[in-house]
Amino acid sequence: MSVIVTASNGWVHKPIVEADAADFMMCFKDYPLSQGASSITYEERVHFFSATLQRNETNTLPLTEDASPGVVRVYGLFKPDGVLVGAFTYKFFTPGEAYILHYTIHPDHRNQGHTRAFRGLGLVGLFGYYNITTFKAKLEASSTFPAMEALKSFWDSGGANLEAGDSMSTEGRLDKEGNSVALKLMTATRAQVETNITTDPDWKDITYTFS
């Protein structure tokens, strides 16, 4: 297994396990990118969850130069009361870098500021532990969810590069009509996130422990 990150305010970021099935499935119930010509199905989510468990038990971190084609980890974001509020997929391709492949919040917990917890626990805590200094993500050029526009605005104001490359989504990352969508590559640094957190009154003094 990979490291578990616990914040001093009680939030936890840890790999998804079997017991997380129900909440994990809900996180992806209305996920906009599907393998078929309709919204993501329950069967697709079952297969995705099964693949998640396998990925979390395959290969080891920290990443080494000979770990091609990389290591994938799927983490849950948990409130202090143990409730899972989001799921995040990371791929570690080369030492010092990581991709954020999936970012989704449970429908019952959206628009509640939980992105700030993800930045602290994931981008500062987890990435700091594994010495990740640069991370990347492919974002929809035309956002499906309004929250994505707010996310883009945040990264843009924080100095991230939202125009690092253009591509089209491929099989397994289609819209609900089964079509490819235009993507923009974003690159950012852990240092940029750490600078932003210093202005957040709820997270600027948080410390992290690892187990």
pLDDT at 66 > cutoff 80: no
Task: Supply the CATH number for residue 88's domain.
Answer: 3.40.630.30
DSSP string, 74-142: EEEEE-TTS-EEEEEEEEE-STTEEEEEEEEE-GGGTTSSHHHHHIIIIIIIIHHHTT--EEEEEEESS
Q: What percent of the chain has pLDDT over 70?
A: 88
- Average pLDDT rounded to a whole number, residues 9-36: 85
Beta-carbon count within 10 A of 208 CB? 17
- Average pLDDT rounded to a whole number, residues 90-100: 90
pLDDT at 132 > cutoff 60: yes
pLDDT at 67 > cutoff 80: no
End-to-end CA distance of the chain: 10
pLDDT at 148 > cutoff 80: no
Number of structural domains found in the chain: 1
Assigned token pair, 57: 């038990």
Higher pLDDT, 83 or 138: 83
CA 65 to CA 119: how far, in whole Å? 26
Beta-carbon count within 10 A of 163 CB? 11
pLDDT score recorded for residue 90: 95
pLDDT at 18 > cutoff 80: yes
- Helix (H/G/I), strand (E/B), else coil: 25: helix
CA 98 to CA 159: how far, in whole Å? 18
pLDDT score recorded for residue 35: 47
Beta bridge partners of 76: 14, 87
Is the CB of residue 197 less than 8 Å from the CB of residue 191? no
- What is the DSSP pairing of strand 134-140 with strand 182-189? antiparallel
Assigned token pair, 78: 């948990």
DSSP state of 58: S
- Structural domain for 76, as ranges: 5-210
Q: What angle do CA 111, 116, 118 make, to 5 degrees?
A: 100
- Average pLDDT rounded to a whole number, residues 56-60: 88
CA-derived radius of gyration, the chain = 16
What confidence tens digit (pLDDT) does each residue in 172-203 have?
667 667 778 888 898 999 999 899 888 889 99
Nearest to 54 by CA among 105, 87, 23, 17: 17
Read off the pTM: 0.89
From residue 30, give the alpha-carbon distance in Å to each of 21, 51, 119, 175.
Answer: 16, 19, 23, 11
Residue type at 112 in one-letter notation: Q
